[in-house]
Chains A and B, each alone.
Chain A
Amino acid sequence: MSLGVIMLVHTAFDRAEQMVRHWAGAGCPVVVHVDSNVPSQTYDHFVESLADLPDVRFCARHRCEWGTWGLVAASQEAATLLLEEFPEVQHVFLASGACLPLRPIAELRCYLDAHPDTDFIESATTADVPWTVGGLDRERFTLRFPFAWKKHRRLFDAFVKLQQAVGYKRRIPEGVVPHMGSQWWCLTRQTLDAILRDPNRGTYDAYFRKVWIPDESYYQTLARLHSRKIESRSLTLAKFDFQGKPHIFFDDHVELLQRSKCFVARKIWRDADLLFNTFPASEDPLRQAVEPNSGTVDRVFAQAVDRRTLGRQGLFMQSRFPSIDRQTSIAAAPYAVLQGFDDIFPDFQSWLTQQTGAVVHGHLYAKDRAHFADEAEVYRGCMSDNARLRDYNGKMFLSNLIWNGRDSHHCFQFGPADTQEIGWILAKDTQASIWVVSGAWSIPLFCSGRSASEVRAEAARLQRIEDKFLKVLRSPDARARIKIMTLAQFIEAPMVVLQTIIDEIAGHRGLAIKEAPKMRDLTGLPDYLQELKNQGMHPFLTGDITVGNAPATKPVARRKPYVISGK
């Protein structure tokens, strides 16, 4: 017999009784401390329920509130009693009523027998470890905390600020180097005895009585003075969230706990029947020598927390509504906006789908309806193609569309004939890449067969809208990847631009263009534009399209550079 247990209990007495029976059943003497806030009736009943166990003792009771000295006093009281009453005890394990042994207690005892001189106590200097909540680490030891953090938070904070402001500092007793760590430890008899019988204990106790959360620092600090060998880790698996509150384990954590190979875990939800039935696991000779490995648990928890608190970009939901100003994108995945290309190439959509394998939508923001890929009426995630529904909240429409299809790259056509409200959202979105061939709207007008005088007003309107969009794209707030070229620039070297687009959309899977898309016959376009000019409407966004460069087949005639004379 070498392991003794101190158990601190304040609630869930049926479970606590079960835990005491686990420990006692494995031959470990147990000293139980019950919070003095517990009504005496409950306490008596609890004592009675354990009366049949010979090696269970109850020690004098202290008031235990979170972060107060009472918790240390309770463990001191219990430890003294344990060491006195059970001289054969070599290791003392501090547990609570919500600590559940995961592996058989015999395995824990074997493990401790193999490390007879080791103290298992997490103990780190405050200077080196940024664990703490509320920004108080070193200051726990140097300030005073007369106000309860839980009940009088404002007073607590104000008083801390005041002390910081006037530069108040308590003196730390000589020889003491503040250390902190998990409050659940397993110490050797020798170390614990030395701490309790230290001639300076009066000084230390008086000092730690006024430290904030002393149960995380009292033994952690003093063990450094007396221990022969400290293994700075806790044998109890306990996870804390970012606010320093303990995570509670539920039935669905059963597999995770099994994998952890830890000896003891806390806190366990009191109604987690599956956990209480599963653990402690039955003995397994193969596992006996296995070291506890809380690494997997740590990783799973950290990943889960990261995913839930940082990740999931582009998701809007009941409990997540990031405002556009505080984030860089509304979309879950990169997407491309293409303006003007489908005016130049009649079957651009199907060609681009073939080349890249991306999802290529038509004009999502067309006035009549949303033209999804394949012209579906209801798209993935039950998105309706109804224009009113879309325009009611155009931003959510886009965000939903991309969230639903975030496994693929989305492209859609845009143009001055579409609803324009989404413009700013696109320009500010870092996931967007926007390709604009300005002035391409002139091609459908040209192909319509209507005369320049007939389309003049329409052309002016489209040009005005497109110009406004270009201004947005050129504003310093625009964060999307943006490439703007005039129609004239584009038709001089269309293949180069298309290849760049494909490379960007398809990434490494992008292939060299085998087959160029078929361009509309632009013969006569320069004359048509000239005719517009003659009517008084200057299509300046098309760039300078001359008769020579319209069909790309002919060699481009180089114009003479202007020479500006010095005189």
Chain B
Amino acid sequence: MDLWHAYRLRWKRRRFLFRIWRKRHEISVAVDRTGQIRPDGILCFATVRNEIVRLPYFLKHYRRLGADHFLIVDNGSDDGTAEYLARQPDVSVWTTTQSYRLARFGMDWLGWLQWQYGNGHWCLTVDADELLIYPDHETRDLKALTTWLDGQGHASFGALMLDLYPKGPLEDTPYVPGDDPTKTLAWFDADNYRHQLHHYYGNLWIQGGVRDRVFFAHEPARAPTLNKTPLVRWSWRYAYVSSTHQILPTRLHDVFDFEGNSKASGVLLHTKFLPMIGAKSAEELERGQHFQNTALYQDYHQHLTENPDFWYEGSCRYNGDAQLTALGLMSKGRWV
């Protein structure tokens, strides 16, 4: 990585910040409770669309982890998501009906919120179907984690996205809103993850998991990216690049160790495959808002509407954070 490349990335980051600023009017505030934010509060940012089923547990999970305030952009839901969020005491809501794809999959909108409210805070940026866990998360809340990260001089925390799926066809396993989705989606692929360095941004690029095994075998390069850096001590100078996979400046996604020892890291439990996935995919086939080159992902969404079964007898049953640590999907690092 030479100076010229670093310089180009610097300008790239500035362009992103400019773009965020330019798109600031795309979102309009619906409920503003940001006055509640305390100087040391941990903030949670998300863009949602029709997530009324997932949100109850989503909020419950992150409240238990110690997120103090939620800043959520609602992208044109019609199932009551915005109204549900407006009723929550610790949620501020913005709404927009603009294109999710053209807003860099919501990153422009969230970027503007982070720019305004995130500076100096530990900021968690997740999707509604991502539940962050880390070693000992049941006894140590985010406050403990971020205090430790501060002490170590780390400004970010990495996590692997772990696709959970049910045993049997996707639509056949019932889910009641508010339940723990890991009871329904109890299975995952233990270790078929491929790691490589991203040639441009220098982050660790992880692909694999069940979607790769089932859908992308013919074209592995297009398989979904699974590395994320969801938790960052924010500064208004920062900008996410694509989803939370990459972030500028690049030192923030250097959440791995070259020398052979492992830093602390977590897992984002991905609850995408709850029973309504078929309907969502059908909608996505029409809207085309989720991937840069939507035509290439037609098959993927088509297949998802056909109620597939991902389970096989070697699938691993999810059994909490200690199991994921033992399997080497996340690590305690030096956080003994």
Contact residues of A with B, CB < 8 Å? 239, 241-243, 245, 247-248, 250-252, 269, 271-272, 274, 301, 304-305, 308-310, 312-313, 315-323, 326-327, 378-384, 386, 388-389, 392-393, 396-397, 400, 403-404
Contact = CB atoms under 8 A, between A and B. Distances in A.
A403 B328 contact: yes
Contacts of B159: 318
B260 to A, nearest CB: 4
B212 A248 contact: no
Contacts of B213: 378, 382, 384, 386, 389
Interface in B231-287: 255-265
Interface stretch (B15-23, B30-38, B176-184, B217-225): B217-225
Nearest 5 Cβ contacts at the A-B interface:
A382-B189, A319-B265, A392-B220, A309-B261, A320-B262
Contacts of A397: 194
Contacts of B152: 243, 245
Interface residues of B, number: 57
Nearest to A396: B194
B275 to A, nearest CB: 22
A242 to B, nearest CB: 7
B106 interface: no
Contacts of A381: 189-192, 314, 316
B297 interface: no
23 contacts: A248-B144, A271-B144, A272-B139, A308-B336, A309-B261, A312-B328, A317-B265, A317-B328, A317-B329, A318-B159, A318-B265, A319-B257, A319-B333, A322-B259, A323-B258, A326-B259, A327-B260, A378-B213, A381-B191, A382-B210, A382-B312, A382-B314, A400-B194
Contacts, number: 165
Contacts of B191: 381-383, 400, 403-404
Contacts of A380: 190, 314
Contact of A318 (B206, B260, B316): B206
Contact of B260 (A242, A247, A248, A322): A322
A321 B206 CA distance: 11
Nearest to B139: A251
A333 to B, nearest CB: 14
A318 B148 contact: no
Contacts of A242: 334
Nearest to B195: A316
B190 A382 contact: yes
B216 to A, nearest CB: 8
B189 A321 contact: no
Contacts of B193: 316-317, 396, 400
B204 A248 contact: no
B192 A318 contact: no
A378 B331 contact: no
Nearest to B213: A384
A248 B148 contact: yes
A546 to B, nearest CB: 48
Given A252-B140, A382-B192, A400-B193, A318 B314 contact: no
A252 B322 CA distance: 12
B315 interface: yes
B183 to A, nearest CB: 21
Interface string B47-75: 00000000000000000000000000000
B143 interface: yes
Nearest to A381: B191
Contacts of B293: none
A396 B334 contact: no
A310 B144 contact: no
Contact of B195 (A250, A304, A321): A321
B158 interface: yes
Contacts of A320: 256-257, 260-263, 331
Contacts of A318: 158-160, 204, 206, 227, 255-256, 265, 329-331
A312 B140 contact: no
Given A250-B139, A381-B316, 6 more contacts: A305-B334, A318-B331, A319-B265, A322-B257, A382-B190, A384-B192
B144 A250 contact: yes
B190 A308 contact: no
B12 interface: no
Contacts of B331: 308, 317-320
B206 A384 contact: no
A114 B206 CA distance: 61
A308 B218 contact: no
Contacts of B147: 248
A353 to B, nearest CB: 19
A106 to B, nearest CB: 29
A308 B336 CA distance: 9
A383 B147 CA distance: 38
Given A326-B258, A384-B192, A392-B220, A319 B263 contact: yes
Contacts of A309: 261-262, 334
A319 B203 CA distance: 11
A458 B197 CA distance: 37
A274 B136 CA distance: 14
A269 B255 CA distance: 25
A312 B260 CA distance: 9
Nearest to B267: A318
B211 to A, nearest CB: 11
B160 A384 contact: no
Nearest to A379: B314
A93 B190 CA distance: 51
A397 B189 CA distance: 14
Contacts of B227: 318
